[in-house]
Amino acid sequence: MSDQLVLVTGGSGFIAQHCILALLSAGYRVRTTLRSLSREAEVLSNLRTGGAEPGDRLSFIAADLTADEGWAEAAAGCAYVIHGASPTPSGHQVREEDWVRPAVDGNLRVLRAARDAGVKRVVLTSAFGAIGVGHKPRSRPFDESDWSNLNGHVAPYQRSKTLAERASWDFIAREGGGLELATVNPTTVLGPALGPDYSHSIRLIKKVLDGQPGCPKINTCVVDVRDVADLHLRAMADPAAKGERFLAASGDSLWMVEIARLLKLRLGKSASKVSTRVLPNWFVRVVALFNPAMKGIVPHLGVTMNASGEKAQRVLGWAPRSREEAIVATAESLVRLRLVNTTE
């Protein structure tokens, strides 16, 4: 158990809240940032859903990635920082700059504040989007030596994660002082939702449960958010994690239809609307002409996106749950919280 203070940025986020739960369970005190303190009650409610009553072991502070105010106060007295705050696919971004600038500038603000406050290490929540996008099809799984090819087809969110992580490593090399950095690069993050504001990855499962007409030929690795949080804590405290990237993936990649079949098999009546029909690529391409959400997946049709979590297991002793457990836990939480309509 530890009584050290850890800053978790972006406390309203899905991964961040599970990191807070893991830190509290391990005995740490936690400070978390919110763009608006009006969301404090929501975060506390979600943490209670996750089984925590933090009391005075959790505090909140207002800080925004786009402004300097609040970050020095947020980092003051902290032994570690878990930096998860970043623009996510919310639908409000109009220009690529709306993704990239807050991600890059926000990372640098947090790193400067951490360095100036004497923080030992920052663990950056990066993404598979900084590793496995924009490449030609390949036979070997992606690993931590890979970087997304920004000359290929890279969506704004993935571009922002790539540029923000590269900027972070450059900062540490040029002006980090004694500050250490490690990154966690999760694949598709599933696992128990804590409330109605969950990650964009979980929407994939919600759409399947809600009865989307079929499954595009999309391939992805998955990982449970509880294991992502566990990996953050290991990357934070283990000396071996200094200066390292860690891919978070649980087993080989899956096709969307395999996920749908698993839900059919394991969820009974709650999966009554799930379709296991595979949508032909030509059909997806036609729909994408009129549907911006479908347009984004066209470059990934039929492409295997396998990634390896072996390094985290070997170096840090990380032992993630199975893919199946992560998928089923996601669906069960959505049903339990009544966030899907499972009736005919």
Q: Residue for token digits 């649980």? A: 250
For helices 200-210 and 323-336, the axis angle rounded to 10 degrees is 70
From 161, 207, 269, 311, active-site residue = 161
Half-sphere exposure (CA, 13 Å, Cβ side) for 240?
11
The b/e string for 66-92 (b: 16+ C-beta within 10 A; e otherwise) is: eeeebbeebbbebbbbbbbbbbbbeee
Q: Residue for token digits 């859903």? A: 49
Tokens of 295: 């347009």
**Is 161 a catalytic site residue?**
yes
Say if CB 148 and CB 108 are below 8 A apart.
no
Half-sphere exposure (CA, 13 Å, Cβ side) for 133?
21
Q: What is the DSSP string of 230-289?
A: HHHHHHHH-GGGTT-EEEE--SS-EEHHHHHHHHHHHHGGGGTT---PBPPHHHHHHHHT
Closest to 179 in 3D by CA, of 79, 69, 284: 79
* Separation CA 150–CA 164 (nearest Å): 13
Residues designated as active site: 161
